[in-house]
Amino acid sequence: MRFFDTHTHLYYVQQVTQESLAQLVQNAEQAGVEKMLIAAVLQQDFKNIVNMTALFPNQLYYGLGLHPLYIEQHSQNDLALLQQALEQRSSACTAIAEIGLERGKAELISEELWKKQCEFLEVQLSFAQKFDLPVNLHSRQSHDQLFTFLKRAKLNKVGVVHGFAGSYEQAKRFVDLGYKIGVGGTITYERANKTRNTIAKLPLDSLLLETDSPDMPVFGFQGQPNRSERIVHVFHELCQLRKEPAELIAETIWENSCNLFAK
């Protein structure tokens, strides 16, 4: 079976584990993870990510974007540099990532910072439209607000709501707009009933697999940096939640992922 980790921060995995990029890619491949999408967080990540993907053009793709968790650090100049990097992007750049909204931290939803989050999201969605790229979206406690932005943006290539943890009704609204739902380590925890039930009910062709490594650990590996090869644990749990044969689940999600993030 072939897997595509559609959301990883591989440069941070490398920093945390001190393993070579070649070793990390090999570890993933040995588990069947043939492709990975590296999502940016900060403007200063961009160059490193571009250089990493150039070393493994068959396995690695990348997305550039400014993460809402770091909205206090982002500047207007970062948006200009993002646009410049997108204009100069290589063929390995297949997404605007990671962008979105963050309402899980009280300090980030002050009137000033919430306005800034919304402005940065709107600009980055306009970049997605301009450069004809899909988006890889962060959404924590902000599904309803994010939906409003996406409905208004009417992107040509839509994208994925990554690390989804919400209700079936919220997920279905995104799916009805054409967006995929990112399935990660959350479903490996039995207590995550709402998310598990949601993922069990959504159309199979609306799902992608991801790790968010080194974050979002799977059950049994808490306290350890997450890795792309652990997407296999997410897949096995997904198979327990779904009625389709494992082979069909794997192949459908592989095709979903490649159609969206591999050119």
- Binding-site members are 7, 9, 98, 138, 162, 212
Q: How far is CA 133 from the centre of its chain?
A: 14
- The owner of tokens 């403007």 is 43
Residues found in the chain: 263
Q: Which residues does 44 contact at the CB level (< 8 Å), separation at least 6?
A: none
Residue type, 99: I
Task: Spell out a b/e string for 227-253, using b for 16 or more CB atoms within 10 Å of the CB, else e.
Answer: bbbbbbbbbebbbebbeeeeeebbebb
Helical segments of 18-88, H only: 21-30, 46-55, 76-87
Binding site for a divalent metal cation, by residue number, is 7, 9, 98, 138, 162, 212
